[in-house]
Amino acid sequence: MPSNFKQTTSALLTLTMATVASIAVSILTTCHKGDTAPEKNPITVAAPVPQTLTVSSPDIANGQSIAKKFTADGANLSPAISWSTPPDKTASFALIAADPDAPGGDWIHWVVYDIPANEKGLPANVSNEEVILNHARQGKNSFRKTGYGGPQPPPGKLHHYYFTVYALDGRGLPKGLDASGLLKSMQGHILGTGRLMGTYKR
């Protein structure tokens, strides 16, 4: 066999092996990225810091079914929510209610923020106006409306609704925030949090 042919064959073999290795690395990298679980929204899945607030409600027992009057199948009233004494230097509270079991992912039912630090909770049947309770603000829910929108899940599966309260070191956030915008604004300002969970099934 001519030496130049051997050299050409060797070069082609080296190139082929390098190409295969490159493709393998690319595939492994892609698979690794695909296998990485998407980051869960900390609003609904878990409190972003240790739960230092006790969140309760006279209308929803933690872990129990939500009464129909607080859902879209009833009067669609917002439930009363209260919380314990916050950490020092708390300047305001925020609340986000969400359903992580919705078919498309986290579904936001209620966004409230700039709640004054001297408030101990929210009463039942809060109006859907943007400004409430001593200049607290309500943001946009996933229904693209201001205020509370009660559970209305598809038939069949039991859904879990998390009411997460945040104690913050500041106040004066922009109006009209949705949950995503509120979360971004709260980064680095959360002093404590707690949550209450209710369920509902059609």
44 in any annotated domain: no
The C-alpha angle with vertex 129 and arms to 123 and 132, in degrees rounded to 5, equals 45
Q: Are residues 92 and 10 in the same domain?
A: no
Q: Count how many domains the chain has.
A: 2
Cβ neighbourhood burial of 18 (10 Å; 0-12, 13-18, 19+): exposed
50 in any annotated domain: no
What does the pLDDT read at residue 51? 67
Output DSSP code: residue 115.
E
**Owner of token pair 């859907």:** 128
pLDDT tens digit at each of 202 positions of the chain? 444 434 444 443 343 444 434 433 333 333 333 333 333 444 444 444 556 899 999 999 999 999 999 999 999 999 999 999 999 999 999 999 999 999 988 999 999 999 999 999 999 999 999 999 889 999 999 999 999 999 999 999 999 999 999 999 999 999 999 999 999 999 999 999 999 999 999 9
Output DSSP code: residue 32.
H
45 in any annotated domain: no
What does the pLDDT read at residue 148? 98
28 in any annotated domain: yes
Output DSSP code: residue 178.
B
Q: Are residues 81 and 23 in the same domain?
A: no
Q: Are residues 112 and 150 in the same domain?
A: yes
CATH code assigned at 180: 3.90.280.10
What does the pLDDT read at residue 52? 86
49 in any annotated domain: no
What does the pLDDT read at residue 17? 42
What does the pLDDT read at residue 105? 85
What does the pLDDT read at residue 171? 94
137 in any annotated domain: yes
9 in any annotated domain: yes
Q: Are residues 4 and 61 in the same domain?
A: no
Residue 156, by phi and psi: left (phi above 0), alpha (psi -120 to 50) or beta?
Answer: left
**Domain hosting residue 101, numbered range:** 55-200
Q: Are residues 72 and 29 in the same domain?
A: no
Q: Are residues 92 and 186 in the same domain?
A: yes
